Structure 1
């Protein structure tokens, strides 16, 4: 087993001083804990005129993990997108190229990973974990080729599920459009 803090640099997401919707519209997406799901790639998120520095911006290969509630995780991969994580997230950045971000993302989305976070969390109604405790989580040490294969396989499945969900949304929009236009024709 390896300690998470030996594999990645861990930082908290950016703390906005006021509600996100009070910031002017801009070009920087704000990713929040509620966004960490299978719809991640096509969910509309607030875009703000970001007041922080470039060091807060996400880079491809960053892993976003919820610091509160269930430990959902996603791998940020979009180099063309300017984005920042909110303070409800931890941002994990691999310390070197031998660290596999797909594997770590898969670990935190697994029952084993969720249990590890839960055991180090505290709180009555909404559990949360400190950055120090989060860094103490033990990540299974398996051969790098198996780690890469497992991480890629699970990431491919997650990507496929996202495409299916995107298609469902697209078809729902077509259905709604057909219904709306038909009803407008009959009431006109």
Structure 2
């Protein structure tokens, strides 16, 4: 555990997964949901999109939390130039998972960390290798309800892990927050603050 208390760290996310991931390195943070609508001004590539949305979330929280270091994040799944966010309902989740079945696709997680006038924004991309899944496997997974509120309708840390033959990149980025890079940035900010 790291002592990031001097940073007054605030996680701008309602995601229990991001809370859990950040909690692996520190207990010194609060959660402040931005309430920001996830609306894009125009079409943009997935890597750009997640950075834009992460920045929007962080900036919205930073306005009401002066003196805090604010961390915003956003995740989408990408395949063949298309992006997939959270499913609207079970049918939409099934459609997404059928699309990903037997493919190599990407999970893109954007992060924005704001501290005073400093703004650090980046994207981590993870290659996901999904084996073909049967209709019976798909329906059994959908019955769990664990597809809701997850980009691409799956979480690599749950039962859907059985669908993947491998991933390339930061596991935690595929889970919703690139922990290694976040840790490095926070450590650098702590050093800059003289701690």
TM-score (norm 2): 0.29
Question: Radius of gyration: which is bigger?
Answer: 1
Between structures 1 and 2, the one with greater strand share: 2
Structure ranking higher on relative contact order (CA contacts 8 Å, 6+ apart): 1
Structure ranking higher in helix proportion: 1
Give the alignment's TM-score, normalised by structure 1: 0.30
